[in-house]
Structure 1
């Protein structure tokens, strides 16, 4: 049983398995078949898993809560958390564990195919478990997977800080709005945004966000705080770029590491850029995150 603030970050949702397929190019031209010399690999690690992995690697006490099936995919997720020493509370999911297929091109870009049959509209986290974990946590990072939206009022009532990642939100889909307007820290990719600044300011004006971050891959990120929009340059990757899988999750983890450590938002974003750049050097078939020592060592050479 956790006691008050035994958990630095409670991660909600986003547990699952990705099947990684390295393809010769993206978009992939139609053909009857392709020979995949690099193999087809199933490994645990969706957005919540990778955020939890990144936070734990940075020394934060992390607890992951999600629904998992009694299936081979669920076994892979449980094994990842066990091997990385990340606390996991798995609520039984009769529909099965979330899964996806990621097609990865030679330049590291990906195309994800999500199986949305692994859930039911009435799925919920048991309120007693959610309240107990929230009461023991300093902060909660909420994935946009179902049923996390229904957990937001309980987290708000518990008084924990809340962050979320809207991923490739187009700024219009109403599903994302509950997350965008209830979180104190909001991450979003610019990928599908026609006007990132307008969307960022709308999030801040309509919701609770103290900080809004729009990540832009090799172009860096944009940070909105106290009404001021600034650009954070991308960090130089410490090795060859092989895969963009997990870069946004790594960014969020390192940003939260800085925030919980009392760093100002711009420094937190610099931490995020460093961790995101590192993630791009890790093949999608692996699950690895930047360590605290490595992050701080690289950050020490980054001018404030």
Structure 2
């Protein structure tokens, strides 16, 4: 599927790559000469942009993904994932190779990610013509904070298409994240590195153009800032045992955007996000899976007070 064949509900920029998953006995992992990993060590396609695109497509939204990919086995895995899930992909050449990471996953589902930064360059850019063409076909654009998305922000703002971004574990100070935070209409981030989530969220809204800011807090739920009001969103009980937190934030973002694009109010969107995030924690990191629309709506209706 290509963007020219029809309108796009959500264009996802960046964040394509592969993860190698290693289940370890504990985190932090004590030093030892070696460990025996009985569950196996597996490499699969799926980084933040891939997981957001996967979540959106599973909810029935027409999704297209743009990023740089290498002509390498990792790139082939990413292309195959999109092909198998019916997600449009515009893959531009990346001579440095496809992004990759190693995720160490503990018994409680927490993870430690080791990112290979050699497979990107600060000067990597998307061609402006490609950006404008894909943006013109879309209703919404989700921008990951990977390179070369930072260079794309001025063009994206100029198109007038609504934007969202995920700042992940931003500490509220790192200047790299700030242009993304101030450019987006919807901002997601983790509360993990924030001493005062409300202060950071309000600062984003006051200085930028965000209509909604969401800070996820794992098992403690999430915070939603919308229309000037901060609301605590309770965590949703997972429908099965928790095995892995990898991709939970991406699932939350995808489901929240689904709600927004179907006209739901912010609180309902956040409930969708909480349901999808809880579901993602039940999916082993060794496979890429996402909640579908019927299950999302059913669980949201069952969870709603």
TM-score, normalization by structure 1: 0.98
The residue that corresponds to 1:68 in the other structure is 69
Distance 1:201 1:5, change over 3 A: farther
**Pair 1:265-2:269 in alignment:** no
How far apart are 1:2 and its partner, in Å? Answer: 3.8
The residue that corresponds to 1:221 in the other structure is 222
The residue that corresponds to 1:51 in the other structure is 52
CA deviations on 1:230-281 (whole Å, 9 max, x unpaired) are 0010111000000000000000000000000000001000000000000000
Matched residue pairs, number?
304
How far apart are 1:194 and its partner, in Å? Answer: 1.1
The residue that corresponds to 1:170 in the other structure is 171
| Separation in 2, partners of 1:258, 1:187 | 14
The residue that corresponds to 1:203 in the other structure is 204
Asked if structure 2 preserves the Cα contact closer than 8 Å seen for 1:4 and 1:136, the reply is no
How far apart are 1:303 and its partner, in Å? Answer: 2.4
The residue that corresponds to 2:195 in the other structure is 194
Asked if structure 1 preserves the Cα contact closer than 8 Å seen for 2:21 and 2:104, the reply is yes
Give secondary structure in 1 for the equivalent of 2:66: strand
CA deviations on 1:100-152 (whole Å, 9 max, x unpaired) are 00000000000000001101122100111111000000000000001101111
Asked if structure 1 preserves the Cα contact closer than 8 Å seen for 2:221 and 2:235, the reply is yes
Asked if structure 2 preserves the Cα contact closer than 8 Å seen for 1:4 and 1:137, the reply is no
| Separation in 2, partners of 1:135, 1:119 | 27
| Separation in 2, partners of 1:5, 1:231 | 38
The residue that corresponds to 1:22 in the other structure is 23
How far apart are 1:5 and its partner, in Å? Answer: 7.0
How far apart are 1:299 and its partner, in Å? Answer: 1.4
| Separation in 1, partners of 2:257, 2:203 | 22
Give secondary structure in 1 for the equivalent of 2:91: strand
* CA RMSD in angstroms, aligned pairs only: 1.1
The residue that corresponds to 1:99 in the other structure is 100
The residue that corresponds to 2:237 in the other structure is 236
Asked if structure 1 preserves the Cα contact closer than 8 Å seen for 2:21 and 2:41, the reply is yes
Asked if structure 2 preserves the Cα contact closer than 8 Å seen for 1:134 and 1:140, the reply is yes
Asked if structure 2 preserves the Cα contact closer than 8 Å seen for 1:4 and 1:135, the reply is no
| Separation in 2, partners of 1:207, 1:4 | 34
Residue range with higher mean Cα deviation, 152-161 or 205-214: 152-161
Asked if structure 2 preserves the Cα contact closer than 8 Å seen for 1:164 and 1:180, the reply is yes
Runs of 4+ in 1 over 2 A off after TM superposition: 1-5
